[in-house]
Amino acid sequence: MEVLGPKDFPELKNDTFLRAARGEEIEHIPVWCMRQAGRYLSEFRELRAGKDFFETCRSPEACCELTLQPLRRFPFDAAIIFSDILVVPQAMGMEVQMSPGKGPTFPEPLKEPEDLQRLKTKVDVSSELDYVFKAITLTRHRIEGKVPLIGFTGAPWTLMSYMIEGGGSTTHSKAKRWLYRYPEASHKFLSQLTDVIVEYLLGQVKAGAQALQVFESHTGCLGPVEFKEFSLPYLRDIARRVKDKIKESGLDNVPMIVFAKDGHYGLEDLSESGYEVVGLDWTIDPRSARIRTGGKVSLQGNMDPCALYSTKERISEIVKRMLEGFGTKGYIANLGHGLYPDMDPENVGAFVEAVHTHSRQLLNCK
């Protein structure tokens, strides 16, 4: 099989998503969905059947196919590489398993600061996460310039929480205990994660990623004070350092998106954190988000995923209202969280169609 390198990629045919991220003129509002490559698609379930989750993540061929599947069904304006945020803890030396019905599990989570010694002090990202870079490069060739490809990572606080909790959590109390009891060790840990994440994101851009999203999925369990101390500085650091390194490497700048779920209290700070786009969950009113971010950034989101359980007519109404709230400039339509496994693909199609139809009408009215 021919091995294609990260150059001579097919020319991009639809750059609407990138233009919207930069706040430029568009013909329609771009749309994509978090977890658009997911279990709601029968072809996804078929390809994944009987295979270990992380084994799939380590197969560039499988990741490429899973990334492309939703594009064959829906006219999305962007693709996001199929992978997982927990490949970073694995690269740092931790074991992570994906248990059916339970989600990610760390058999030996970090309990006390001395456990940090178990992590690799130096992570060779180019070899440890090479399979992600290969998947991105392969997908950039096979996507044939149809739409831009997004790379992503989990944010430091979110990864720290998983690595201490040992999996998902409703309270995140074990991880938060560290913030209050071991603030110095927490900062050391978060810095260590940041260093790996910066190299990881740079590697994704070198491999062909045309945009990057940073998922801070566990913002909701922090208060504003803890957010400003243990999350925001690292999010800012990632944006600044990645942009500097991209420049130093002579690569083209790529838009960066920060998605801090349930971080409504930090919206103003997030709009000044060095990202071109701020992703929003469904708990934030679009008009209010526009006012609070003061036109400094593009916005992405934020339909409640559960609205997809509704009828196609109702989805169309909800989308219309959402688009009117955000306006057409500097806006990328998305859900306020990822697609759920039991969702009807036909309704996902109705969502995409409604965004394109209503946005063209709004833009023609101008």
Q: Count of CB atoms within 10 A of residue 175's CB?
A: 25
User: Closest Cα to residue 270, out of 303, 246, 252, 294?
Assistant: 294
pTM, two decimals, is 0.98
Beta-carbon contacts of 136 under 8 Å, excluding residues fewer than 6 positions away, are 6, 81, 149, 151, 204, 207, 208, 209
In DSSP terms, 79 is beta-bridged to: 149
User: HEC string of 11-46?
Assistant: CCCCCHHHHHHCCCCCCCCCECCCCCCCCCCHHHHH
**How is domain 15-365 classified at the architecture level of CATH?**
Alpha-Beta Barrel (3.20)
Report d(CA 143, CA 281) in Å as an integer: 28
- 242-17-207 Cα angle (round to 5): 40
Quick one: pLDDT at residue 163?
A: 98
Strand order in the sheet with 277-279: 79-80, 149-154, 211-216, 256-260, 277-279, 298-303, 331-335
Report d(CA 332, CA 31) in Å as an integer: 6
Q: Sign (positive/negative) of CA torsion 203, 208, 210, 216? A: negative
Beta-carbon contacts of 329 under 8 Å, excluding residues fewer than 6 positions away, are 23
Strand (E) positions, 73-148?
A: 79-80, 97-99, 103-105
Token representation of residue 181: 């009891």
Beta-carbon contacts of 301 under 8 Å, excluding residues fewer than 6 positions away, are 279, 280, 281, 282, 284, 333, 334, 335, 336
Task: Please provide the size of the chain in residues.
Answer: 366
**Domain locations along the chain:** 15-365
3-state helix, strand, coil in the chain (%, to 5): 50, 10, 40
Q: Cβ(30)–Cβ(328) under 8 Å? A: no
Q: 332 — phi, psi (to 5°)? A: -120, 120
Quick one: pLDDT at residue 2?
A: 56
Q: Which residues are catalytic?
A: 35, 39, 48, 84, 162
For the chain, count helices (H), then strands (E).
16, 9
Q: pLDDT of the chain along its 366 residues, tens only?
A: 456 787 899 999 999 999 999 999 999 999 999 999 999 999 999 999 999 999 999 999 999 999 999 999 999 999 999 999 999 999 999 999 998 888 999 999 999 999 999 999 899 999 999 999 999 999 999 999 999 999 999 999 999 999 999 999 999 999 999 999 999 999 999 999 999 999 999 999 999 999 999 999 999 999 999 999 999 999 999 999 999 999 999 999 999 999 999 999 999 999 999 999 999 999 999 999 999 999 999 999 999 999 999 999 999 999 999 999 999 999 999 999 999 999 999 999 999 999 999 999 999 876
3-class secondary structure, 209: coil
Quick one: pLDDT at residue 365?
A: 74
Beta-carbon contacts of 101 under 8 Å, excluding residues fewer than 6 positions away, are none
